[in-house]
Amino acid sequence: MVRSSAEDVDQYLAELPDARRGALTELRALCRAELTGFREVMAYGMPAYERDGTGEVAFASQKQYISLYLLRTDVRDAFADRLAGHDMGKGCLRFRTPEKIDFTLVRDLLRATAATRGPAC
């Protein structure tokens, strides 16, 4: 995993390659719009969104892909059909290029995360 030493999300985004900055800026905007009541932080070298001190969502620019970390197993389980066919790790949805990001799916995942409370892995 590529970890940034950025102190805040603005600095993190500024350090990204031009080819990825726009997509990750859009991911951030979606997180900020949909994750009402969450706090934006840097955790483990990536932007993360916490509720009551627990990280539930994060994203990162990795060497080979862009990652969206969905730390709520209940949300991942509820979206199993829509996530099928996507490149998934244990708690990570990976997009090989910025153009492959399904922002509608991301928005729906974020809305589901914000709407309910559940355990984070």
Tens digits of residue pLDDT in 18-42: 999 999 999 999 999 999 999 999 9
Q: Is 9 exposed, middle or buried (CB count within 10 Å of its CB: 0-12, 13-18, 19+)?
A: buried
pTM value is 0.92
- Total number of domains constituting the chain: 1
Q: What is the CATH number of the domain that holds 79?
A: 3.90.1150.200
Summarised one tens digit per residue, pLDDT across range 90-107 is: 889 999 999 999 999 999
Stated length of the chain = 121
Q: How does residue 119 score in pLDDT terms, banded at 50, 70 and 90?
A: confident
Q: Supply the pLDDT for residue 2.
A: 65
- In-domain check, residue 63: yes
- Greatest extent of the chain over all pairs of C-alpha atoms, in Å: 37
Domain assignment of residue 38, given as a range: 9-115
Q: Supply the pLDDT for residue 1.
A: 47
